[in-house]
């Protein structure tokens, strides 16, 4: 499902489509797997498919950090409750501590790229890109294509 922005003929995906794409770690705008995620913990400046910048405003990084904290704490809480219910009343405290500390370190690393794509989906849904931003994205894609054509 598509709609237009400000009466212009630039289609944007629906919010549901953008969040579904973000949950798969692809670009919310275009669905391209060559998005702005570089390996797992890095980021390119723009989506390598459609050219949209992920850093759309100052302080954008606070959103993914907040999402990561919520995801991590929720998963830790659920894990702790399940562990207490299934192992009680004879809790193996050292094993539980090891599990929880390991999860507290590894979960944010696992969630990291998803929080960026999800927050970009939220940002694009709540603050639609204007024509200038879309034109800049198109120009970046064109410049990248001509640069790679020249290189080969």
**Least Cβ distance, residue 106 to Zn ion (angstroms):** 28
User: Does 115 help bind Zn ion (rule: CB under 5 A)?
Assistant: no
| Phi, psi values for residue 3, rounded to 5° | -140, 165
**124 forms part of the interface with Zn ion (CB under 5 A):** no
Tokens of 113: 């790229």
Helix, strand, or coil (residue 11): strand
Contacts of 99 (CB under 8 A, 6+ apart): 79, 83
What's the first-to-final CA gap in the chain, in angstroms?
38
Task: Establish if 120 lies at the interface with Zn ion (CB under 5 A).
Answer: no
Q: For the window 49-88, what string marks contact with Zn ion as x by the rule CB under 5 A?
A: xx--------------------------------------
| 72 vs 129 by CB, closer to Zn ion | 129
Q: Which residue's CB is nearer to Zn ion, number 107 or number 134?
A: 134
- What are 111's two structure tokens? 């969630």
State whether residue 19 is helix, strand or coil: helix
* Interaction pattern, residues 31-50, with Zn ion; x per rule: CB under 5 A: -x--------------x-xx
| Minimum CB–partner distance for residue 21 and Zn ion (Å) | 9
Cβ-Cβ contacts under 8 Å for 121 (sequence gap 6 or more)? 15, 18, 19, 21, 22, 28
CA distance 120 to 27: 8
By CB under 5 A, residue 29 contacts Zn ion: yes
Q: Which residues would be at the binding site for Zn ion (CB under 5 A)? A: 27, 29-30, 32, 47, 49-50
């Amino acid at each position: 499902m598509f709609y237009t922005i400000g009466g212009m003929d630039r289609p944007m995906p629906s919010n549901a489509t953008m969040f579904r794409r973000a949950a798969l770690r692809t670009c919310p705008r275009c669905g391209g797997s060559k998005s702005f995620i570089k390996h797992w913990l890095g980021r390119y400046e723009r989506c390598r498919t459609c050219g949209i910048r992920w850093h759309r405003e100052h302080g954008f990084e606070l959103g993914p950090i907040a999402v990561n904290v919520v995801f991590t704490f929720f998963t830790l809480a659920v894990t702790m409750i399940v562990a207490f219910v299934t192992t009680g009343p004879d809790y193996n405290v050292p094993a539980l501590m090891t599990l929880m500390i390991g999860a507290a370190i590894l979960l944010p690393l696992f969630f990291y790229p998803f929080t960026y794509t999800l927050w970009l989906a939220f940002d694009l849904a709540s603050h639609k890109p204007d024509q200038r931003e879309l034109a800049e994205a198109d120009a970046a894609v064109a410049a990248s294509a001509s640069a790679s054509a020249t290189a080969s």
